[in-house]
Chain A
Amino acid sequence: MKWSSFKYLTKQGLHSMVQNRLMTVASVGVLTACLIITGIAALLSVNVNSFVDYLSDQNEFEVYLNDGADQTVVDAFVQSVSGLGNVAEVEYVSKAQAVEEMRSWMGEDGDLLESYAGEGNASNPLPASVRVRVDDLELLAETVESVKGLGADLIYDVQSPTELSSVLVGMKRAVTYAGWGLVAVLGVVSIVVISNTIRLTVFARRKEINIMKFVGATNAFIRLPFFVEGMAVGAIAGVLSTAVVGGGYYALLRALENPNAAWLGEFTRCMWPFKDVIWIMLGGFVLFGVFIGGVGCATSIRKHLKV
């Protein structure tokens, strides 16, 4: 297709949008509404995910060892634990180190533990332990089992956040699935709405299309103005919905700047910063809108081209 034709057809498409103002406004409105809901779902999803990721950053468990275990056996155990899959980091904490940690944690009162300090102090009641950090929280339970299997007679107790982790993982999954599901449903709804609006435009101009066919216009030529129309509607809806959702998000961030509850503060700290979100949102919405405009257009005009 020649550039001059392309220009002409683009102009035709935009002209038709102005001519059918009401229809254009209606389809921009519906598509904008769909995109806004999609945007809210997506923002909720990414922020919950980010919060869950933050919470699950404490993805380690502690293996307490029996007193009096042979040091070479313990070293071998640590060695084999760090060889396991899903294990990111292993740290051996000796009895003496455990006391030191406890003392610094207690601050000034730590002096009370003075008598237990020192390497090989027989009165030290704290057990030695192995701290294991995992890569994937979802596999935590299995990793704990494997560790237990490696040194059953060495281990006195294991403390792991298995419960919490399964809740978090479940939450993350639910939010992700619900988010994507919503996006898919709204995508289909938008396509149907757009294709119906364009179908009306096409119907209003079916005679013209028929005439075009009989004077030898190719399908691509006939389709282009409608594509331009559909995609322009999509692009406008994309910009509008970005303004609405972006503006709302900005206001929300401002409102949460000085939270009055501690957990809310945690959550706010995990929220995506406005300037990271806004460009992704603009790009995503405009692309999504243009895509939907294009697809909706293609589906509504097919029938009229079969002459």
Chain B
Amino acid sequence: MIRFEGVKKVYPGNGNTPDILALNDVNLHIRKGEFVFVLGHSGAGKSTFLKLILREEEATEGRVIVNGRDLSTIKQRDIPYLRRGLGVVFQDFRLIPTMTAYENVAFAMRVTNIPERQIKRRVPYVLNLVGLTGKAHSYPAELSGGEQQRVALARALVHSPPIIIADEPTGNIDPELSVEIMELLQAINSVGTTVVVVTHERALARHFNKRTIMIDHGEVVTDARPKRKREVTFK
């Protein structure tokens, strides 16, 4: 599903600033159906990791392979198709403020040429899945942080992508809601979708007891699968 082979990412300096080594020699493989936490301090390189998967940034060295596409050789015109296979819940949700919850989700389908008939069936279904049926016609400003996040999740789910990626899904909401959203992600994972959760909260990763990849200063320092419940090694 997602494979990093000797990946290095350098953000070139602009004359006043030095080059920044954001990721160094990252090797990992996330398989189909896995649930993975990517853990790290602020500035560790987590978002860079995500940007490489989305092909928002290109690896300086090494190869990134996502859904069978080698992103170092991918053609510009194939990038939209790569992204249709990736459902992303951004840290700041990235909802369009002038559109209702329904329209925000429908928008992601329209963008990919899906006929209106199918949109009308699919959008209420996913909104129901994330528990937002009653809020379909509310604008983002009229929704709580947790509800906005669930709209973002609904949008990520709408294409039934094989991979769901969530960037700090618990960052902006209170602990109760974060457990709720994590349980939603788990449910999605249980039907075969690969889920990658990027977070700086160790407690979250510990609580859910899943494979945890820890990044520090751009390097993978641990990549541990729990052998038994609640037994995760941390450096």
A interface residues with partner B (beta carbon < 8 Å): 1-2, 4-5, 8, 207-208, 210-219, 221, 307
Contact = CB atoms under 8 A, between A and B. Distances in A.
A206 to B, nearest CB: 12
Contacts of B159: 216
Contacts of B56: 214, 307
Q: Which A-B residue pairs are the 9 nearest by beta carbons?
A: A216-B84, A217-B111, A216-B83, A215-B108, A216-B80, A218-B80, A5-B113, A211-B94, A2-B113
Given A5-B110, A210-B94, A217 B115 contact: no
B121 interface: no
A215 B115 contact: no
B110 A8 contact: yes
Given A4-B116, A307-B56, A215 B111 contact: yes
The dominant DSSP class at the A interface is helix
B112 interface: yes
Given A211-B94, A214-B83, A216-B112, 15 more contacts: A4-B116, A5-B110, A207-B94, A208-B96, A214-B54, A215-B83, A215-B84, A215-B112, A216-B82, A216-B111, A217-B80, A217-B112, A219-B77, A221-B113, A307-B56
B127 interface: no
B3 interface: no
A4 B106 CA distance: 14
Given A213-B83, A215-B83, A221 B111 contact: yes
B88 interface: yes
A216 B112 CA distance: 7
Nearest to A208: B96
B155 interface: yes
A2 B159 CA distance: 18
A152 to B, nearest CB: 73
Interface residues of B, number: 23
Contact of A214 (B94, B95, B110): B94
A217 B96 CA distance: 15
Interface of B: 54, 56, 77, 80-84, 88, 90, 94-96, 107-108, 110-113, 115-116, 155, 159
Contacts of A214: 54, 56, 83, 88, 90, 94
8 contacts: A2-B113, A208-B96, A211-B96, A213-B80, A214-B94, A215-B107, A218-B80, A221-B113
B29 to A, nearest CB: 24
A8 B111 CA distance: 10
A210 to B, nearest CB: 7
B159 to A, nearest CB: 8
Contact of B115 (A4, A211, A307): A4
A214 B86 CA distance: 9
B94 A218 contact: no
Among A1, A208, A216, max chain B CB count under 10 A is at A216
Contacts of A4: 115-116
A1 B112 CA distance: 9
B79 to A, nearest CB: 8
A24 B110 CA distance: 26
A211 B108 CA distance: 9
A174 B154 CA distance: 66
Given A207-B94, A207-B96, A218-B80, A1 B113 contact: yes
Contacts of A2: 113, 115
Contacts of B107: 215
A6 B94 CA distance: 25
A228 to B, nearest CB: 15
Contacts of B77: 218-219
B102 to A, nearest CB: 15
Among B80, B81, B115, max chain A CB count under 10 A is at B80
Nearest to B96: A208
Contacts of B95: 211
B120 to A, nearest CB: 12
Contacts of A217: 80, 111-112
Nearest to A8: B110
A307 B110 CA distance: 20
A215 B113 CA distance: 12
Contacts of A216: 80-84, 108, 111-112, 159
A5 B112 CA distance: 9
A215 B80 CA distance: 8
A212 B111 contact: yes
A219 B82 CA distance: 14
